[in-house]
Structure 1
Amino acid sequence: MQRRKFLKKSAIGTAGILSTPLATSCKENTPPTTTIDTSEAVKPIVIATWNVPNSTSKAWDVLNAGGNSLDAVEKGVMEEEADVSNQSVGKGGRPDRDGNVTLDACIMDKYGNCGSVVYLQNVTHAVSVARKVMEDTPHVILAGKGAEQFAYEKGFPKENLLTEKSKREWLEWKKTSQYEPIINIENHDTIGMLAIDENGDISGACTTSGMAYKIGGRVGDSPIIGAGLFVDNEIGAATATGVGEKVLKTLGSFLIVELMRQGKSPQEACEEAVNRIVTKDKDYKNFQIGYIAINKKGETGSYCVQPGFTYRKYSKNEHKNVPSGSFITS
């Protein structure tokens, strides 16, 4: 998959830094090369992290039929959760260092309601369980065995999520890992999706199997409202992909929405969110963070640390993969 090729390439140290006024500590005399989305604002519209045409097509089917944005994002990311060839989401995801596939997901609607599951095992569609948490409980987050039992009570089937391919790779990793934490650029990407329906209402969803070979119990940004995903129906929405620990420390998705509230475009807000990370973390050349955002007008933006990140966009005008600008440019 295209995002896999990118992630492998981005593990290589790079030197070209994009100059921006928001990152004065890393500023160089190089002109900005940010890719800015200037297409006409439209609705309905759906965008998703990475080149996931099957997911955006499924979401678009819902929107194009007059459906709401919440159903669209749920159905959209479910496509990736069920795709065993995608080893970072749902069934077939890479396990933790003990061989357990554990899933994190969240969903958020136009009213600001949200639901989340963390460390969920044996259930493929974590995003749908998260929606049940939102709609059928007074809580926001369920974790571990509690989340799993809740899923069974709601009728979700028990499944073995560890495919033979992911199992073989895990066993190979164990030969040399010595159970030391690793940040392999390839092992952490997420499907985040944002949609606006024909009524102008915004929803979002985010789902992942997390960092491969992580310590058992590790939770990243993806299921945390305000970090991996945030929606404000008056303003817009944002979602993240990459090393979750970096996003958690800056509450990146919430930050982007608040910057849009202050008048910044989705593109400008994504850029500042990335800049805040790289100016505080000297190790930024060794990890990836990518953000996408959408505002109430249907304008979109994206930005990342390493080059190669893309997002998929589907509207009445187009269905295309959009290259993202990056802080490091080569």
Structure 2
Amino acid sequence: MTIVLDGVTFQDSDWVNRGHLTTITVNGQSYQRWEGMWQAGIRELNTRITGVGSTLTATSTTSETIGAGSKALTIQASKGFAAGNIITAFQTGTPTNYMTGTVDSYDSGTGALAFTVAAGDFGGSGTIAAWTVTISGKTGATGTVSAAGDGTIGAPGMSWANDPDTGFTRTATGETSYSADGSKILDFGPNGLTMNDKPVIKPAAATSSITHDSSGALTFNLANGNDFVVTVSADITDIDFTNVPSGLSLVVSVEFINGGTASVTWESTGSTAIRAAGGTAPTLTESGTDVVQFLLRPSGAPIITSVALDVQDIA
């Protein structure tokens, strides 16, 4: 007798004792020949699993409109859908057009499928005539939305409304003030900046030291500050100021050490000419310290405003 199971052929010579497989002997031990049966059984299970999966997917050419409510599609017969299943029907090739709902009924003989879609359980829009239907799951509950952060956003940027941490207050459109300890310090508005207290101005920079030991021009670079100490041991043929802030007036203080040991030319003509009281240039001390202050304005020549010659400790 011959038995064929899932493509595997068994002969009656494989069977003994009315139902027991024959045995083989390995190293003196007898074993029943089950390998063929196991392989056949596994292949059969795989086939059945694949078959079950295919019963839970289908296609339809029924024209149906995306939206909530009762829906009807005709799919293939003999599928595995049943009342109560959650399914998703989406446009074949465009899964963003979809409906998810609960099966009301399915006729396995005709393929008639009826289901209901709840409000919000669909995406996209339009009337579709090419559907793919699959088993699905129920949509979970919507999570809690966090509370919005405090603060006021105003055009063109951020503003603060009575913020106790920053001290900024937006008092009117386009106007912001800053307060400290309950007193308004600054007010920024359409008319500019108003300071309601005496400002404390930080010095521009620390003292900058210069050694003038070669005959030529003496240059004060205001990018380094506005307070200079110059040790002189060679002639000064010109005095120049560079990197002067545009549109501002400021005082530059220069301490000359042993300035009188050299010849100093205080330029009297041209754009860098220096002006002094009575038109008289100071004569520096040969061995000692002199302090000269210059006033620089947005326009015009530098002016010597103060001269302290031979500065010494008060006895």
Short-chain TM bin? under 0.3
The alignment's TM-score, normalised by the length of structure 2, stands at 0.17
TM-score (norm 1): 0.17
Larger-Rg structure: 2
More strand by share: 2
